[in-house]
Amino acid sequence: DAGITQSPRHKVTETGTPVTLRCHQTENHRYMYWYRQDPGHGLRLIHYSYGVKDTDKGEVSDGYSVSRSKTEDFLLTLESATSSQTSVYFCAISVGTEAFFGQGTRLTVV
């Protein structure tokens, strides 16, 4: 798992509530990513980070924000969860040109 831990692994939340997902890495890699995976869409990039406090948007960033105050932690926040954000969320790190993924967080918005 390349030293990547995602928490929580499963979460059910109500529409309109804020939700924060955490990704923690143990090896101080510079690049970290948040993806969501949905049937028929594959893995789509939400946001990524290239250093502490350095982040950029991916292709499906609307409704999501991120923060990276420490090298090892990359947080994904849904400010006001919607049912369309029900998905499996994966964190990844980049080592050289290769990406390694965490085990995922299954989020259900009801």
Task: Choose between 63 and 104: whose C-beta lies nearer to another protein.
Answer: 104
Tokens of 64: 């999501």
Tokens of 66: 């991120």
Window 75-104: contact mask with another protein (x via CB under 8 A):
---------------x-x-x--xxxxxxxx
Q: Is 74 in the site for another protein (CB under 8 A)?
A: no
Question: Maximum distance among all alpha carbons in the chain?
Answer: 39
Window of 16-24, 36-44, 60-68, 69-77 that interacts with another protein by CB under 8 A = 36-44
What is the number of other CB atoms lying within 10 angstroms of the CB of residue 72?
A: 17
Find, among 12, 28, 23, the residue nearest to 46 by Cα. 23
Q: What is the DSSP letter of 47?
A: E
Q: Is 52 in the site for another protein (CB under 8 A)?
A: no
Q: Is 3 in the site for another protein (CB under 8 A)?
A: no
| Strand, coil or helix: 100 | strand
Task: Choose between 77 and 94: whose C-beta lies nearer to another protein.
Answer: 94
- Residues forming the site for another protein (CB under 8 A): 1, 31, 33, 35, 40-45, 48, 50, 58, 90, 92, 94, 97-104
